Structure 1
Amino acid sequence: MSIKNSLITFCFFIFSIGFASAQNQVPIPTQAQLNWQNAEMVAVFHYDLHVFDGKVYNQSYNRITPIPDYNIFNPTKLDIDQWVKAAKDAGVKIAILTATHETGFALFQSDYSPYSMKALKWQDGKGDLLRDFKASCEKYGIQAGVYIGIRWNSFYGIHDFKVEGDSEFAKNRQQHYNTMVEGMVKEIFTNYGDWAMVWFDGGAHGPEQGGPDVLSIFETYQPKGLFYHNLQRADMRWGGSESGTVPYPSWGTFPYPAIGSGESARAEISKNNFALLKTGDPDGPYYMPAMSDAPLRGNGGHDWFWEPGRDNIIYPLDKLVNMYYNSVGHNSSLILGLTPNAEGLIPDADAKRLKELGDEIERRFENKINATSGVGELFKLKLTGRQKINQLVLMEDIAKGERVRKFLVEGKTKTGWKTIFEGSVIGHKFIHQFDEIEVSELHLKIQESKGEPQIKDFSVYFFNEK
């Protein structure tokens, strides 16, 4: 071979290595995203002035109608420890509080908004639910997050981020609102320590769209947190419904860096009933896992806020367990909406159901038959003799990205090898239930991957159906 041909061959070899490396690259999650997915179960506590009016919550009405008297806020038995303890009993690792919602009332001490707890007769105007919530989360070892509603504010007349009209007066009011919001957000991000995540309700239009600049405040004061979301950035994505589930497969990667306000700013995202939000994109260049949210009181209703006489619509245990399998078990996170009542307590029926959920999940995963982990394309689990199994768990080390693209799990029965499941995404966690079988050995075969597969867990279980 000539020197010229040798150089051409060498250059082609180097190019091939570089091309293959580029082809095998996958998006890598931030530490905040890892923390989010490791938490798996999340609670969001919705609390606002209309909890105290004794009426059925009407979102479209509440978005445009101020509460006549903010001093209806009077939780006579407030116990935020009880809220957080109830969430922890369910297995929740991150809890979120609505610091502001659609009325615009701030559940904390604000120097920027007069429409805050400073204005109340309750606790002589010195109460601060956000402060007490953060303390309760720390007490129970739960990461705290904060939910901030700036898209609607019935007190200030803000609808879909904007003051109505284009007069000079309206422009001045818009500027005042934007400045006030920026001040309030800075208070939340500097007066209470670190937040695991911030959730801007319905998004957060920035200066480019005439709104407040909240993203730069977040990046300055909460750089280690998870941001959700505005037109420029989303560190997770809505899972396309409020059913507490996502379909399989649901990839943790996405083709766009943001999902848009109202989840539908892009036609590609909103079409086909938000299909892209539900499934993600295996070739997406951005790491943005799906979240699956649902109110605990959603069985025949959809109560994000407490309403009187509605204990009957708390989801039954079997439906909550199904949510768990179809959210956490589908590479997503399960966010349950919890509803403190007008007394300031999670109702007994809700707390009881949360405890039942936590106990049932623990029961279903307490009998681990065997497990393995490692790097490679073939993983073997040998059991002691032939044993009954009906559930398996797979986890990738997603700190190195979602690499697996196609896999097969099979078990060795007395009549030979039987396919248990063929799938695509594993991601943070994949859980599969199946009819009871007896096997002596199992294989996990990674058939396609981008880069070397990194399997954090391959485990099998047996549990008795009640």
Structure 2
Amino acid sequence: MTTRPTPAQLAWQRDGFGLFLHFGINTFNGREWSDGTLDPTSFDPTSLDTRQWVRTAVAAGARYVVLTAKHHDGFCLWPTATTTYSVASSPWRDGRGDVVAELAEACREADIGLGLYLSPWDRNAPCYEDPEAYDAFYLEQLTELCTRYGPLYELWFDGAGSEGRTYDWEAVTALISEHQPDAMVFNMGAPTIRWIGNEDGLASDPCRYTVDSTGISIYDDGAALLGRARYLPPECDVPIRGHWFWQPDDLHTLKSREHLLAIWYRSLGLGAGLLLNVPPDRTGRIDPADGARLLEFTAEVERSFSRPFVPRLATGPGGTVEARFTRPVVLDHLELNEELTDGQFISGHEVLVDGEVIASGRTVGVRRIHAFPPVEVTKLSIRLTGSGSRLAGISGFFTGRGAAPALEEQPRGATEKFDDPVH
């Protein structure tokens, strides 16, 4: 275990933003979770277009996508040798289709990362009740995904439904180390990134990267406590609508541009990653309403943060960091970036103009965004707390938006869509 990030972890943190693609047999049956008994012939997208998914992701500024290659129902979006409960038993592409292969090709063409979600819980596999047999079954599925589709950016292991079940994570880890050593591993086994702890897409301050073996932060005011510390940055996941899989009757739950911006400030803006779910519909394409709202939101991010004012940095009195601009500039946002090569050290910070604090917080991490009323500045002073604290960069912006948007109360889905009372 180490409190220093690997180059792959740092690259993942800097990329920051990805799209989740919940797609599968549930899409065609109005379900969120199903029990593995839905007819595989119901999977039949009329015009599946993974290049449209990827074009949408690229246009939104996402650096990777994560596809639900197998959800809890056990239906596989690739023609696996392990089960007939897959696209091979569907009428789509006359049973010869492979959603994972088509998405992998589209990602390669666009130079965007491919992530795959493989649920450990499988409600269709007859061998699931036999742990040893199911471990072998699961490893075979994972081997197929890790060896057929080129480099993987992220492997996503959902813990839902697996309470009290122990899988052979040692074998899973060895397999990933052999075939996909650079892939980020989410949440289970030997993870390299962790879940933020909610499905609202929200991090908090402090946003810690160093945790103990249980995933709990072990830092207090920048001082590491004894324990098996490891560097494990968080990923926030959230659906663009009220459900994860596309549903025909929940358009009213589509999040507003302002709510999505509020999520952005409270995930990426606090130093976490953001995985925003934008699910393909029954045609096999991103729903036009979802795509339009996504691009409306990300266009506002681009408008606000594409023209930075970058100051020169120097050490000021008392160890403060001084940021000097070449001319007076009006700012209403500031982005701070911590130097993370040796780990995360900043546990507190204040930004001052002429001795007055205009922004403050605890952690900085890979990026920390502050919004404040417009102020004209030539020089900023930044006080850092935490032994070994260093900034890698500072950028100022004038957006015309002097405060972070407020989170809105979100409408519920039109109908209950769960086989189980817990999602």
TM-score with structure 2 setting the length: 0.86
Distance 2:327 2:13 in 1: 35
1:27 corresponding residue in structure 2 = 3
Question: Which structure has the larger Rg?
Answer: 1
- Give the Å deviation of 1:282: 6.4
Paired residue type of 2:399: F
Contact 1:294 1:336 (8 Å CA) reproduced: yes
Superposed CA offset, 1:112-155 (max 9, x none): 2222222233212211111111111122221111110121x222
- Give the Å deviation of 1:393: 0.5
- Give the Å deviation of 1:108: 0.8
- Give the Å deviation of 1:328: 0.7
1:126 corresponding residue in structure 2 = 96
Give the counterpart of 2:283 among 335, 338, 343: 343
Distance 1:239 1:354 in 2: 22
Report the secondary structure of 1:363's partner residue.
helix
Give the counterpart of 1:95 among 51, 62, 65: 65
Superposed CA offset, 1:33-57 (max 9, x none): 112211111111001112112x3x2
- Residue 283 in structure 1 maps to residue 224 in structure 2: yes
Report the secondary structure of 2:330's partner residue.
strand
- Residue 228 in structure 1 maps to residue 189 in structure 2: no
1:177 corresponding residue in structure 2 = 134
1:273 corresponding residue in structure 2 = none
1:295 corresponding residue in structure 2 = 239
Superposed CA offset, 1:200-228 (max 9, x none): 121798xx935573222112211121112
Give the counterpart of 1:333 among 269, 273, 281: 273
Change (3 A) 1:293 1:375: farther
Change (3 A) 1:105 1:380: same
Give the counterpart of 1:457 among 372, 376, 393: 393
- Write the mapping of 1:229-308 to structure 2, written as runs, cut at 5 A: 229-230=187-188, 232-256=189-213, 258-259=214-215, 283=224, 285-297=229-241, 302-308=242-248
Distance 1:109 1:372 in 2: 55
RMSD of aligned Cα (Å): 2.7
Distance 2:283 2:314 in 1: 51
Contact 2:32 2:244 (8 Å CA) reproduced: no
Superposed CA offset, 1:81-126 (max 9, x none): 1111112222211111111001101111212222222223321221
Paired residue type of 1:450: S
Change (3 A) 1:407 1:58: closer
Superposed CA offset, 1:336-360 (max 9, x none): 0111001101010111111112211
- Write the mapping of 1:202-217 to structure 2, written as runs, cut at 5 A: 202=159, 209=166, 211=168, 213-217=171-175
Q: Mean Cα displacement is larger for which, 35-44 or 436-445?
A: 436-445
Contact 2:19 2:57 (8 Å CA) reproduced: yes
2:260 corresponding residue in structure 1 = 320
Change (3 A) 1:327 1:58: closer
Give the counterpart of 2:148 among 191, 202, 225: 191
- Give the Å deviation of 1:311: 2.0
Contact 2:267 2:273 (8 Å CA) reproduced: yes
Contact 1:251 1:281 (8 Å CA) reproduced: no
Distance 2:160 2:5 in 1: 21
- Residue 426 in structure 1 maps to residue 383 in structure 2: no
Change (3 A) 1:390 1:401: same
Report the secondary structure of 2:394's partner residue.
strand
Give the counterpart of 2:117 among 134, 147, 151: 147
Distance 1:58 1:133 in 2: 22
Superposed CA offset, 1:300-341 (max 9, x none): xx3100010322211100111111111111110111011100
Distance 1:34 1:370 in 2: 22
Contact 1:204 1:211 (8 Å CA) reproduced: no
- Write the mapping of 1:32-43 to structure 2, written as runs, cut at 5 A: 32-43=8-19
2:47 corresponding residue in structure 1 = 77
TM-score with structure 1 setting the length: 0.78
| Larger RCO, structures 1/2 (Cα 8 Å, 6+ apart) | 2
User: Kindly, what percent of the aligned residue pairs are identical?
Assistant: 27
Change (3 A) 1:406 1:465: closer
Superposed CA offset, 1:433-454 (max 9, x none): 01112223211233x3332x43
1:66 corresponding residue in structure 2 = 37
2:323 corresponding residue in structure 1 = 381
Distance 1:397 1:176 in 2: 46
Distance 1:218 1:70 in 2: 29
- Residue 309 in structure 1 maps to residue 266 in structure 2: no
Give the counterpart of 2:341 among 399, 402, 406: 399
Distance 1:344 1:375 in 2: 54
Distance 1:316 1:280 in 2: 36
Distance 2:320 2:278 in 1: 43
Distance 1:385 1:140 in 2: 39
Contact 2:207 2:271 (8 Å CA) reproduced: yes
Distance 1:419 1:181 in 2: 54
Structure number with higher helix proportion:
1
- Give the Å deviation of 1:176: 3.4
Paired residue type of 1:66: T
1:136 corresponding residue in structure 2 = 106
Gaps of 5+ in 2: 403-423
Paired residue type of 2:377: V
